[in-house]
Amino acid sequence: MHELAITQDIINVVCEHAQGTKIRRIVLEIGKLSAVLPDAVRFCFELCAEGTAAEGAELEIIEPSGLARCRICDNHVTLDRPIGRCSCGSTDLEWISGEELKIKELEVA
Ligand SMILES: [Zn+2]
């Protein structure tokens, strides 16, 4: 389960940033094409945050849809999952966004 390692990384980063101050709220952005499961991150978060400055922090996860460009007709296609189809019928899509995983906001006490 790679979400555990990802969540651990996120907590390391936010705790370093907070410099010992208690963290109130964290907003994460996990693109729908990132192959990271937000529910798994939520689950790991509580485990990993225990005993750190992030313990008890509110975790909010934003899941932006992916955007791709069709290589056949050049249209833009919105993707909610890694597999999609353009309105022209093509599945030859080039991903533009939706793979991001980042800390969008951090609120400390
Ligand atoms: Zn197309």
Which residue range(s) make up the domain with 10? 2-65+98-108
Confidence category of residue 1, pLDDT binned at 50, 70, 90: low
Phi then psi for residue 58, to 5 deg, are -80, 130
In contact, 18 and 55? CB cutoff 8 Å: no
CATH code of the domain in which 36 resides:
3.30.2320.50
Q: Is 32 inside a domain boundary?
A: yes
The rounded Å distance from CA 96 to ligand 1 centre is 15
Count: domains in the chain: 1
104 falls within a domain? yes
pLDDT, tens digit (0-9, with 9 covering 90-100), for 84-106: 999 999 999 999 999 999 999 99
93 domain-assigned: no
Please give the span between the terminal C-alpha atoms of the chain, in angstroms, as a whole number: 31
Span from the CA of 89 to the centroid of ligand 1 (angstroms): 6
Residue 8 belongs to a domain: yes
Asked if residue 53 is part of any domain, the answer here is yes
Tell whether 20 is covered by a domain: yes
* pLDDT(20) > 90: no
**Could you give the angle at which helices 2-18 and 38-49 cross, rounded to 10 degrees?**
50
The answer to whether residue 25 is domain-embedded is yes
Q: How far is ligand 1, taken at its centre, from the CA of residue 58, in Å?
A: 41
pTM of the model as a whole: 0.88
